[in-house]
Structure 1
Amino acid sequence: MNEHFGIRVEDILKIPIFKKCRVVGGVDGLNRIITNVNVMEVPDILPWIRPGDFIFTTAYAIKDDVEAQKILIPQLAKRGASGLAIKSQRYIETIPRYMIEAANNLSFPLIELPVEVNFSELISSILTQIVNRQASFLEHSVKVHQQFTDLILNGGQLDQIAEALTELIDAYVCLEDLINFRRVIYPPELPGHIMSLFEKNYTDIQDFYRQEINIEGTKLESVILPIIVEGQQYGWVQAIAIDRDFSLFELTTLERVCSIVALDILRQQNVTQVENRYKGEFLNQLLSSPEHNEKVFIERSKTFGWDISKNNATLIFEVLPGHEKKLKIKQQDIKSQAAILLKNYCDRNKLRYFLVNNDEGIILFLESDLVFANNNIIHQLKALLNYWHVTIGIGNGYSGIKGIKKSFREAKLALEVGKYLFGSGQVIYYRDLGVYSLLLKNTDIAELKDFVQEMLGPLEIYDLNKKGELLKTLKTFLETNCNVKETAEKLYMHYNTVLYRVNKIKELIGVDFNNPDQVLNLQVAMRLLEVLERFNKTT
């Protein structure tokens, strides 16, 4: 936006001292911006021309050089000069036709100055306008920066920043925070076509972006400024004006607000991290404390907006890389991003909750009724995290320190065991584990493998070497309460084939199917085999 710090060529023509000056060429370029003034009295001035320079000359240096006259305007235009003013009737009688044609072709302002005007007065009048404009711009910039800085220092939030910005620039405003997953639009009620523009993803924009849009005959100007912190995009500021263009001051205001929004994003990120650390310390103390401290912990929990005296259920989220490429940013690890999304959901729906992001996963405590009486919430929470591969373990609802500990253990077991039973990416309730919760609760995986190998190892070896199906037959045989006829029907086999296989099983593992204890051991081993097979696939 630096080019707007100058003054347009058409505006200098309104200054009284330019009253007798005449535009002889390049009328279409009168909107070019003058940021500096230069005087040409030597033929080799071109290397010293800067973009935005407006050139005054008597043409003395090139009065007898037609070729130099012909290439002057194309060369000035190429270097980004804003215009050329020639004082005629001194060293050249009139401005040559070929210079006028070049000015018209390049939309490069060419102005004829009357012989009596003084260069120093012309230059002074232009520079005064530029300096005044820059001073006004600087004053406005400082005022805006101070206004929004005061707002932040006084605890102002993103929505208050958006409201103040809207009042200043009289436009629709959207502030996007990619780090903390916040989006504020002001005013809240706005036309659908404006909302559709705010819902677009602008993560690819790395610099000031301005576009004109026409929707059903209405002209919109959209301006997007990315919020960049240490080379990373943290969000953006977008403003939309209707049936007009943004002024220099409004664009400056938007630019200044970007740094203020960046401060708010970083502040919110730090608040979240500190809050999570305090909550994590509280939860660790709670899970390791004796029950007789319950009253103290009930009061402490209320400072976090949580009441452990009520029935609470534990949800533990395991969040693994999945489809995170759909996500807008990569600055944070996926657990932190997921935790912010869950927190925002709970706040938005005014839920009583307690959330911690630690080594165990993302741990969320919710009132039991919300979890078990309304499956909708669980589905919404999982859908919220569809960027990633998410497994959720859910414990039963209990109250008090003892209950919180129990629910936490159940949720942890549901997560650890359930993903091997049912596969990862599921919502697993502890109550759905059934007998598996007892089998796997306090036993080492290696010990379970040894037990399964002792009970079923010979059958696995036989099936592998002989390409047999003894394990499959045993599974069905146990499911039918050791009934050979029913097993044959279920497996679509001849009765004698099943009988042969059952006898082979007896021979290999020495089992007596008339002994209830031995049958129970086989049933347990078969169930554990299924769990361990899933475990092997996921590790």
Structure 2
Amino acid sequence: MSITISDAMNLQTLKDFKLVAGEWGLNKKIDQMGILDHEIIDKIDNIEVVFGQGDFVLTNFTAARNDVNLLIQSIKELIKARVSGLAIKNIFYSELPSEIIEYANEKSFPIFIFDNKVYFEDIITDIIDAIRDNDNYELLETKVDIIIKNNISRTMIGELALEINSSFRENFIVVYCKEKKYVNSTNIIRLLERYKRRRDKSIYNSVFKYRTGILIIFSYENMNEKKVVENIKKLMTDIGIDNSQYIIGISNNHFCLNELARGINEGLYAVNASEISDGSTTFYKDIGIYKVIMPHVNEVWMNEFYNEIITPLKNYDIKYNTQILTTAIKYIENDGNVKRTSQELFQHDNTIRYRINKIKEILDMEDLDGSFYEQLSIAIKIYKIFNKV
């Protein structure tokens, strides 16, 4: 059970912590908390007995208030003990010697200074709660993976759904919100923390981190489809999710918790389809042929079909320095309309027609007009899934 220091800095109690050294160590994990007090500093040479890897240490350095050398030695011993980081209450030290700042930077050891109005107990409580919440998120992610990745019975899916939230109603819809520029979970955890503090949140919904985004399972009863969508939009607003930062995929309505695996996958597929197109909010019901392709895209048969169509076009482009594959992609994106394809590629219509005929020739499909477009369209869609273009 742990969180990163970077994630901890988003907690309300720690939001005004001032980082003075060790920026490159913010991804270190906090497993537990510790307090560096008089007794420990008095036995500073044995500090490794008290603290170790994964500890985040708080102190006001009362014992070293008149001894800068003891301060420096103590911090160096903490670094030697491989603790995650150090936060100093600014009662006696609001600044640190340049020697220790340089040393901490060299060792990627985060050191913070914080206001003396903040209590150790509040910091410890907030971080421990966050560690516990993060562990819960990981457990929820594991349960979701079991639901969607394992061939388990519908009855078992229903039981796991109620383990996620025992208050779920039978009717539900799933929304997956994938962060567009995911670097780490900092922004996601911040939104979840803010939502968790809302007093008006419903016990019938579950909102938690999943992969590089936020998974929402919205359950309900006695509500028409229009009202469901309105409530989901309000829920996303309450959380702080919008299309400027998140790609949003929305499943169909389902009316039995045993269908949760299907609902979650629909939300994920809708996001994948949205990534391929314009990155807007996408409903699963609107993703067309991707409904058929996405569940099977990693199967050997699909890969063989993809390679039979796409690989020859790639090889031709490499050999002759052409844009055959690009033309194929635009041709399919424009539903086989030569005029629109030529305009987007800044080419003459006849150039596009020549390239399309060349594609048929490369694929040995000169006499397969209808089948040619159909096969090329599916192969290009698989290509986009693999390459997210």
Task: Please report the TM-score for the alignment, with normalisation by the length of structure 2.
Answer: 0.54
The correspondence for 2:264, drawn from 399, 405, 408, is: 408
**Aligned twin of 1:365:** 217
Aligned CA RMSD, in angstroms, stands at 5.0
Structure 1 gaps of 5+ residues are: 1-176, 185-200, 207-226, 238-253, 323-333
CA distance in 2, matches of 1:351, 1:414: 25
Shift of 1:520: 0.9
Query: What residue is the counterpart of 1:94 in the other structure?
Result: none
Q: CA deviation at 1:417?
A: 5.4
1:501 and 1:528 map into 2 onto residues whose CA distance is 21
Distance 1:348-1:479 versus aligned 2 partners, 3 A rule: closer
CA contact (8 A) 2:175 2:215 kept: yes
How many Å separate the matches in 2 of 1:315 and 1:235? 41
Distance in 1, Cα, partners of 2:358 & 2:336: 14
Which of 162, 173, 179 is equivalent to 1:312? 173
**Distance in structure 2 (CA, Å) of the matches to 1:180 and 1:490:** 45
Asked if residue 504 in structure 1 is aligned to residue 318 in structure 2, the reply is no
Question: Percent of aligned pairs with the same residue?
Answer: 17
Provide the residue aligned with 1:204 in structure 2. Answer: 18
Would the aligned equivalents of 1:371 and 1:377 in 2 still touch at CA under 8 Å?
no
SS of 2:217's partner is strand
Contact 2:10 2:190 (C-alpha < 8 Å) held by counterparts: yes
Displacement of 1:402: 2.2
**Cα distance change on mapping 1:343 and 1:311 into 2, 3 Å:** farther
Give the corresponding residue for 1:378: 236
Structure 1 letter corresponding to 2:361? E
What CA distance in whole angstroms lies between the structure 2 residues aligned with 1:474 and 1:285? Answer: 38
- Distance in 2 (alpha carbons) for counterparts of 1:440 and 1:295: 24
Cα distance, 1:281–1:235 mapped onto 2, change above 3 Å: farther
Q: How many angstroms does 1:235 deviate by?
A: 9.5
2:208 is the counterpart of 1:350: no
Q: Which residue number in structure 1 is paired with residue 383 of structure 2?
A: 529
Work out the CA distance in 1 between the residues paired with 2:344 and 2:383.
21
Q: Report what 2:35 is aligned to.
A: none
Shift, 1:317, TM fit:
4.2
**Cα displacement (A) at 1:281:** 7.0
For 2:16 and 2:335, the matched residues in 1 are separated by 64
Task: Work out the CA distance in 2 between the residues paired with 1:298 and 1:504.
Answer: 52
Match of 2:253?
397
> Structure 1 residues 523 and 492 mapped into 2: Cα distance closer, same or farther (>3 Å)?
same
SS in 2 for 1:439: helix
* Shift in alpha-carbon separation, 1:367–1:482, aligned structure 2, 3 A: closer
Find the counterpart in structure 2 of residue 137 from structure 1. none
Residue aligning to 1:181: 11
Which residue of 1 is the match for residue 86 of structure 2? 232
The letter of the residue matching 2:168 is D
TM-score normalised to the size of structure 1?
A: 0.41
Q: Pick the aligned partner of 1:339 from 178, 189, 195.
A: 189
| Residue 530 (structure 1) shift | 3.7
Matches within 5 A, 1:20-419: 181-182=11-12, 202-204=16-18, 228=58, 231-233=85-87, 258-269=119-130, 271-273=132-134, 275-276=136-137, 290-292=153-155, 303=166, 306-315=167-176, 317=178, 322=183, 334-335=184-185, 338-339=188-189, 341-348=191-198, 350-352=200-202, 353-357=205-209, 362-367=214-219, 372-373=229-230, 375=233, 377-378=235-236, 381=239, 383=241, 392-416=248-272, 418-419=274-275
1:404 CA displacement: 1.6
Distance 1:507 1:294, change over 3 A: closer
- The alpha-carbon distance between structure 1 residues 180 and 371, as it changes in their structure 2 partners (threshold 3 A), is farther
2:176–2:215 CA contact under 8 A, matched in 1:
yes
Are the equivalent residues in 1 in contact too, given 2:9–2:17 (CA < 8 A)? no
Task: Give the conservation status (yes or no) of the 8 Å contact 2:170–2:219.
Answer: no
Q: Check whether the contact 2:207–2:216 (CA below 8 A) recurs between aligned residues.
A: yes
Say whether the 8 Å CA contact 2:338–2:349 is kept in structure 1: yes
- Identify the structure with bigger relative contact order (alpha carbons < 8 Å, sequence gap 6+): 2
Alignment CA distance shift 1:269-1:430 (3 Å): same
**CA distance in structure 1 between the aligned counterparts of 2:320 and 2:331, rounded to whole angstroms:** 20
Larger Rg: 1
Aligned partners of 2:18, 2:339: CA distance in 1, in Å? 68
Go from structure 1 to structure 2 and tell me whether the alpha carbon gap of 1:475 and 1:277 turns closer, same or farther (over 3 Å shift). Answer: closer
- Aligned with 1:315: secondary structure? strand
Other structure's SS at 1:511 match: coil
